[in-house]
């Protein structure tokens, strides 16, 4: 489900005037750009607060692995966040990832830090149990895909309702 939402949030091609359009012969006299495949620039914000039990963190790491290997988003910038956002980690494989934290939760700080990356990401993925305050809307021009990891035995947290948010629920 995450890959489908990620594909919907990120265009896979971009116009490229350096190569001709493969259908240019169908309309002579009209200049049309070709297209090239673009790897999506993805920032991932991982909730590492105290409420994120080891089983929930395992699910988050599995989702990061899926992004790296099947989602076409490699490398990705990962921001570990509890009350503060740590310095972004450039992750090409899971061995590059280091998770730390364990205090309170505020994903607003992690989302803002991800949006401030240069170059900016085309999409932000937030991996969380949802026990956090949410911004009123996503950063300007950057969709946010929230992966709510529902823990067994706990009531599911409400999803963010602001503009630009898309929520996917996964079970731990």
**What is the residue-wise DSSP string for 80-143?**
EESSSBPPPEEESSGGG------S---HHHHHHHHHTSSSPPSEEEEEE-S-S---SBPPTT--
Tell me the pLDDT tens digit for each residue of 102-139: 788 899 999 999 999 999 998 999 999 999 999 999 99
pTM of the model: 0.81
- 59 DSSP assignment: H
- What is the per-residue pLDDT across 80-109, written as a single tens digit (0 to 9) for each? 998 888 899 999 888 889 888 778 889 999
Interval 164-168 mean pLDDT: 90
Region 30-44: what's the mean pLDDT? 79
The pLDDT, as a whole number, for residue 2 is 59
Q: Which residue has the higher pLDDT, 158 or 3?
A: 158
């Amino acid at each position: 489900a995450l890959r489908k939402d990620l594909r919907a949030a990120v265009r896979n091609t971009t116009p490229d005037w350096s190569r001709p359009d493969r259908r240019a012969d169908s309309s002579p006299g009209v200049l049309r750009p070709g297209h090239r495949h673009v790897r999506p620039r993805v920032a991932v914000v991982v909730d590492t607060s105290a409420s994120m039990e080891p089983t929930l963190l395992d699910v988050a790491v599995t989702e990061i692995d899926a992004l790296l290997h099947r989602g076409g988003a490699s490398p990705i910038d990962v921001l570990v966040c509890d009350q503060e956002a740590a310095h972004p980690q450039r992750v090409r494989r899971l061995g590059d990832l280091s998770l730390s934290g364990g205090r309170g939760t505020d994903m607003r700080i992690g989302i803002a830090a991800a949006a401030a990356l240069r170059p900016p990401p085309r999409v932000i993925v937030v991996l969380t149990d949802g026990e956090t305050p949410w911004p009123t809307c996503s950063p300007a021009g950057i969709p946010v895909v929230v992966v709510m990891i529902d823990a067994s035995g706990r009531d599911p947290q409400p999803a963010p309702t602001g503009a630009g948010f898309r929520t996917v629920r996964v079970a731990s």
